[in-house]
Amino acid sequence: MAPEGSAFGRHFHATSFLCRALLVYNHFRNKGIVRGSVLARGRRSGTIELFRFVFCVVVILFHAQNAFLQGFGDPNTVHWTLCGHGNAAVEFFFLVSGYLMAASLSRMDEPSGERELARDTQMFFVRKIRPIWWYHVLFYVPSLITYLLVKAFDGLGTLNAILRAIPGFFFVDLFGFRPGNPNSVEWYISAMLIVMFVFYPIMRRHFAMFAKVVAPIVALALLGWLYKNEGALTGVMVWNGLAYRAMLRGFAEIALGIALFDLIQQLDRLELARAHRRLLTAAQMLAFVLALVCICLTLPQKYEFVILLLLAIGVSLSFSQHSLANDVLKGRVIMWLGAFSTPLYLAQVTALNLLHLTGDAIDPWPRAWLMLGLSCVFALVAYGVVTHLLPRGKRHSKA
């Protein structure tokens, strides 16, 4: 044995301790107690960042079609559209939000008490709002102004519209407080924040139970209810007597994203041959392609559940360490597209309102594509302002 007080002895004991710690870590990892994934190892999924941008564009084209291209094609036949079911692309963002929330909480220790849990929950809420706050403000004001110009209200109508817009500014309109958010696409942010604020303290206390048991049950129960009673996932402001459909949609799909996180942890513990990884990658990309095909066809609304299933497959495999796509889809451009999707998503309503003000001066198809172009321009301006002019904007724009 090395002398206790010598430098060699201290080095020996430190090395021995590290070896024992590594053995304990490997033991618990093999038991499924220590969790790890692409995100847990500090990597971002390039596939997710790319499709974050793609599905943001899909949502914009859906709104452009609804605004300018109604009546094109026979509604009684299945045919191609610009993005007829593009509103179902929001399912991608709910799934990713749930997965990322689970990945973040999986790395945290259980809080020591109620005070710490309450403080952590509040800080989590602040961390979720901070990266989007300036984009929210920058587009909220012009969307309200252009909305008032499009509607051409009288004095009382203008005042009423402004008052109705207040709950949306604080992301609480989905509770039922007379929703009138002029930047109407922010319903997704409102639903996401509310659901996460409910799930976060429960998951901090009981992560394994929630991810493995509660989340799958919540997802299946709510999706089953929506399928049986509503026959659709979309329809943001459909009120069922208790909540808007958008809220149920958020709870169900964020819970599904959480459940997918645990499933992928089990998959990543397997040692797969290169050929098997290629098959998984092919299934991952095929799922996204088929989802986009369904989005562009005039299928019945119940096919939105098929789109959700395809997106769940694509999203979950995109986060797996076995996906070969993440080795190809990487680099600054891909990551920038993912970050750019936030201002792009929020810019579309202002672009839409401005094009409504043009009346029929522009033909329908050019107006649809012009809406996407204007959204990109406004988003680039906002991205530059937030990144370079506002305090700590550069760090927040990457969140």
- The pLDDT assigned to 71 comes to 59
pLDDT in tens, 115-172: 889 999 999 989 999 999 999 999 999 999 999 999 888 889 899 999 989 989 999 8
With a CB cutoff of 8 Å and minimum separation 6, the contacts of 219 are 252, 253, 255, 256, 259
- The pLDDT assigned to 1 comes to 45
- Encoded tokens for 287: 């799922």
Q: What is the DSSP letter of 389?
A: I
Sign of the C-alpha dihedral, residues 324, 330, 334, 335?
A: positive
Do 170 and 381 contact (CB within 8 A), yes or no?
no
Residue 113 Cα distances to 120, 203, 376, angstroms = 11, 14, 46
- The pLDDT assigned to 346 comes to 97
- The pLDDT assigned to 148 comes to 94
Residues 20-40, mean pLDDT to the nearest whole number: 45
User: Is the predicted pLDDT of residue 41 greater than 70, yes or no?
Assistant: no
- The pLDDT assigned to 72 comes to 57
- The pLDDT assigned to 113 comes to 83
User: Is the predicted pLDDT of residue 75 greater than 50, yes or no?
Assistant: yes
Which of 326 and 136 is assigned the larger pLDDT?
A: 136
Q: How confident is the model at residue 84 (pLDDT cuts 50, 70, 90)?
A: confident
Name the percent of the chain lying above pLDDT 70.
Answer: 85
User: Is the predicted pLDDT of residue 389 greater than 60, yes or no?
Assistant: yes
Q: Work out the angle between the directed axes of helices 46-68 and 304-318 (0-180°, nearest 10).
A: 160
- The pLDDT assigned to 37 comes to 52
Query: In which residue are the tokens 């201290």 written?
Result: 10
- The pLDDT assigned to 330 comes to 86
Q: How confident is the model at residue 345 (pLDDT cuts 50, 70, 90)?
A: very high
User: Is the predicted pLDDT of residue 32 greater than 50, yes or no?
Assistant: no
Residues 44-64, mean pLDDT to the nearest whole number: 95
- The pLDDT assigned to 178 comes to 66
Q: What is the pTM of this model?
A: 0.86
Question: With 0-12 CB in 10 A as exposed, 13-18 as middle and 19+ as buried, what is 300?
Answer: exposed
Domain ranges, ordered by start, for the chain = 51-397
Q: What is the DSSP letter of 324?
A: S
With a CB cutoff of 8 Å and minimum separation 6, the contacts of 16 are none
Please tell me the distance from the alpha carbon of residue 116 to that of residue 169, in angstroms, as a whole number.
28
Do 392 and 133 contact (CB within 8 A), yes or no?
no
With a CB cutoff of 8 Å and minimum separation 6, the contacts of 91 are 233, 249, 253, 304, 307, 308, 311
Do 308 and 294 contact (CB within 8 A), yes or no?
no
Q: What is the DSSP letter of 184?
A: G
Q: How confident is the model at residue 38 (pLDDT cuts 50, 70, 90)?
A: low
Please tell me the distance from the alpha carbon of residue 248 to that of residue 229, in angstroms, as a whole number.
12
Q: How far is CA 8 from the centre of its chain?
A: 53
* Of 276, 385, 377, 325, nearest in space to 60 by CA: 377
Which of 286 and 327 is assigned the larger pLDDT?
A: 286
Do 182 and 165 contact (CB within 8 A), yes or no?
yes
Q: What is the overall mean pLDDT for the chain?
A: 86
User: Is the predicted pLDDT of residue 238 greater than 80, yes or no?
Assistant: yes
Q: How confident is the model at residue 93 (pLDDT cuts 50, 70, 90)?
A: very high
Residues 373-396, mean pLDDT to the nearest whole number: 83
Residue 175 Cα distances to 57, 194, 244, 340, angstroms = 28, 9, 8, 29
Do 168 and 179 contact (CB within 8 A), yes or no?
yes
Work out the number of other CB atoms within 10 angstroms of the CB of residue 279. 12
- The pLDDT assigned to 31 comes to 42
* Of 140, 147, 206, nearest in space to 347 by CA: 140
- The pLDDT assigned to 102 comes to 96
- The pLDDT assigned to 110 comes to 79
User: Is the predicted pLDDT of residue 14 greater than 60, yes or no?
Assistant: no
Residues 252-265, mean pLDDT to the nearest whole number: 96
Residues 188-197, mean pLDDT to the nearest whole number: 94
Report the range of poorest mean pLDDT among 68-72, 150-154, 286-290. Answer: 68-72
What are the phi and psi torsion angles at 152 (to 5°)?
A: 55, 50
